[in-house]
Structure 1
């Protein structure tokens, strides 16, 4: 579970990161990273739409992504907003596949 200080909840920040941040995609997910100048701290948000599957599949994907993203908190810039958007293939992907895709995407979006 991500600490509350690292959770992204504001819709305007989701939009800003999605529209203005660096983007990298894979088979199962797309990441958007927006590095800011302020010292507000790292915040991470997840987008898992109904296209991924039913509620059980969406919640499973969200739990997996939250756990995987927690491992990357120390490697990301301190004043960044990260949005991880799951694609429909994430519902059938294994935990290891999601982890590999997240690693690959984060390496590509980091400055």
Structure 2
């Protein structure tokens, strides 16, 4: 099980910007643990999103307890794998 859940939703506004949101619940740990996870996720996003992210979409990383002490290289490979799976799907913007 990966150390995060990834949600991606196309915005449909014509802007190709790839945005990121990060959240880590208090159930994961105290403030120090949550902030460390968020720093790791921000670095992942800086490194991976420009090349593997979905243009014009909002990406949300939700931290899970299994990601606290997970090796950074493993987190990166899981993030790339999740993004590649999503990129291969045809995701349509829901009608409002």
TM-score (norm 1): 0.68
The answer on whether the counterparts of 2:2 and 2:78 sit within 8 Å (CA) in structure 1 is: yes
Question: Are the aligned partners of 2:2 and 2:75 in contact in 1 as well (CA < 8 Å)?
Answer: no
Q: How much has 1:77 moved relative to structure 2?
A: 2.8
Q: Which has the higher contact order (CA 8 A, sep 6+)?
A: 2
- Give the corresponding residue for 1:56: 32
1:109 and 2:86 aligned: yes
TM-score (structure 2 length as normaliser):
0.78
5+ long unaligned stretches in structure 1? 1-25
Residues 11-62 of structure 1: CA deviation (Å, up to 9, x unaligned): xxxxxxxxxxxxxxx4211101112321342210011111221111111111
Is the 1:52–1:90 contact (alpha carbons within 8 Å) kept by the matching residues of 2?
no
Larger Rg: 2
Q: Which residue of 1 aligns with 2:2?
A: 27
Aligned CA RMSD, in angstroms, stands at: 1.5
3-state DSSP of counterpart to 1:71: helix
Equivalent positions of 1:65-104 (< 5 A) are 65-75=41-51, 76-104=53-81
For residue 103 of structure 1, report the CA deviation from its aligned partner. Answer: 1.4
**Residue from 44, 47, 70 that aligns with 2:23:** 47
